[in-house]
Amino acid sequence: MEDSLRHLQKLGFTEYEARAYLALLRHNPSTRYQLSQNAAIPESKIYEIVRRLQDKGIIAGLHGEPPRFIPLAPEHLLSQLEHKTQESLDFLSASLHTVANQPAVQWIWNIEGYEETLSKAEDLIKAAKQEIAASMWHEEAERLSAALRASVERGVALNLLAYDDGPIDFGNVREHGYEDRLRAQLSEPHGRLLTLVVDRTQVLVGSSLESTASAVWTNHSGLATIVNRYVLEHFY
């Protein structure tokens, strides 16, 4: 009895639920009062315990006054528990890796200033482990070239969208092809842009780099997907 009680609790029963089920296996059908006595459950608790076990389909009520209760046969209970356990294991097997790969907290940092923006970009490039997707003009490419080359040399995949003719001759480079049209837009409020996605988990988006530079640095998964796709769509 004690071993059965302990193992039922491991499978999600409360102590009183396990006591009630085991008592009904030995004495059934039983009224609530009889069940309370046989399972050593306070009478003030027995209504709640019986209701919970009925909701779970573990015991059933018989018509009559007072009502009496019978337990689910052991083989049916074990089949039910096995099905629920396997269902949970199958779900967790598919979902836990996804959960583990997602940041627990999503954050956004605002960065002000050109040097600060480029310094953060350099730090992210140096920390890359698998891949980098970026778009930039030659001014920023010259500044970040050494860090990008070092990343490629240690095995990081680089997909670079170049807005104009720049110094990057390694990795996978694609020229935007509309340099004149883009240059005309530099006088607009957002000015020259820089985008950087590292390992599809961290994003840096800088704007107005030729004047009052500012940037957003974040691990927001949705923004990482959008910016990464923006860069890669120019390759295909």
Q: Which helix (H) or strand (E) holds 204?
A: strand 202-207
Question: Which residues sit opposite 174 in a β-bridge?
Answer: 161
Would you say residue 1 has pLDDT above 60?
Answer: yes
Q: What angle do CA 48, 52, 55 make, to 5 degrees?
A: 140
pLDDT at 181: 56
CB 132 within 8 A of CB 158: yes
The band of 54, judged by pLDDT with boundaries at 50, 70 and 90, is very high
Q: What angle do CA 54, 60, 63 make, to 5 degrees?
A: 120
Which tokens sit at 211? 């004047």
* CA distance linking residue 138 with residue 152, whole number of Å: 18
pLDDT at 187: 47
State pLDDT tens for residues 178-215: 555 555 555 454 568 899 999 999 999 998 777 788 89
CA separation, residue 185 to residues 12, 77, 190, 210 (Å) = 63, 70, 9, 12
State pLDDT tens for residues 77-96: 999 999 989 999 988 888 88
CB 41 within 8 A of CB 19: yes
* CA distance linking residue 71 with residue 28, whole number of Å: 8
Is pTM beyond 0.85? Reply is: no
Portion of the chain with pLDDT greater than 70, in percent: 91
CB 1 within 8 A of CB 18: no
* CA distance linking residue 197 with residue 226, whole number of Å: 10
Would you say residue 75 has pLDDT above 80?
Answer: yes
Closest by Cα among 89, 118, 135 to 232: 135
The band of 177, judged by pLDDT with boundaries at 50, 70 and 90, is low
Question: Which residues sit opposite 161 in a β-bridge?
Answer: 135, 174
pLDDT at 23: 97
Residue at 163: amino acid letter: Y
State pLDDT tens for residues 148-167: 999 999 999 999 999 888 88
State pLDDT tens for residues 98-147: 766 665 688 999 999 999 999 999 999 999 999 999 999 889 999 999 99
C-beta neighbour count of 77 within 10 angstroms:
18
Task: Name the phi and psi angles at 16, rounded to 5.
Answer: -65, -40
pLDDT at 106: 85
* CA distance linking residue 51 with residue 28, whole number of Å: 17
Task: Name the phi and psi angles at 160, rounded to 5.
Answer: -120, 125
In the chain the domains, ranked by start, together with CATH numbers, are 2-99 (1.10.10.10), 108-235 (3.30.870.10)
Residue at 128: amino acid letter: A
